[in-house]
């Protein structure tokens, strides 16, 4: 019986800081046996990973999955090989249109196991420029300061 639920293996923490995310989609992955074992041990990196659509197929590039320690060299895999992603043709065509027309990028946000199968969460995103990053930082700081002021008022109100 396969595990039910979702077990996140690796996340792309840099993605939410560097990109403005518009839409997310789940895709399956075509992996070799040693890649699955390494992925179960959380030996993967998504920091520089990106997706390309080529000939009606989506490929995950620059995703590093380390070699499995206990496999023989003949059954081992290449750590940085492109991985084919599994989506319906309609979904691929829709993503292709949005990438071409709107100038968006497909990036992986996380890799996880769902019901025993390896999945990757993809996002249609646009890279933030420096002004957007500064604006987001200023907004976050203003929100924190407002929250502090509210909590100070609440504490003063209870002590009176």
Measured CA distances, 69 to 7, 75, 133 (Å): 22, 11, 40
Torsion angle, alpha carbons of 147, 148, 151, 153, to 10: -110
Q: Are 70 and 88 in contact (CB under 8 A)?
A: no
Q: Are 109 and 121 in contact (CB under 8 A)?
A: yes
pLDDT per residue as tens digits for the range 103-145:
899 999 999 999 989 999 999 999 888 888 888 889 999 999 9
pLDDT per residue as tens digits for the range 22-76:
999 999 999 888 888 888 888 888 888 999 999 999 999 998 888 877 766 666 6
């Amino acid at each position: 019986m396969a595990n039910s639920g979702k077990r996140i293996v690796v996340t792309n923490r840099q993605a939410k800081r560097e990109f403005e995310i518009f839409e997310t989609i789940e895709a399956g992955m075509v992996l070799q046996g040693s890649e699955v074992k390494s992925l179960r041990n959380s030996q993967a990196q998504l920091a520089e990973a990106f997706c390309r659509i080529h000939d009606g197929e989506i490929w995950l590039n620059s995703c590093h999955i380390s070699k499995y320690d206990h496999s023989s060299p003949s059954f081992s895999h290449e750590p940085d090989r492109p991985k084919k992603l599994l989506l319906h043709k309609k979904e691929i065509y829709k993503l292709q249109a949005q990438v071409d027309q709107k100038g968006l990028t497909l990036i992986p946000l996380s890799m996880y196991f769902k019901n025993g199968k390896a999945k990757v969460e993809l996002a249609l995103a646009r890279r933030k420029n420096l002004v957007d990053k500064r604006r987001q930082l200023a907004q976050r700081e203003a929100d924190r300061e407002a929250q502090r002021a509210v909590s100070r008022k609440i504490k003063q109100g209870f002590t009176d």
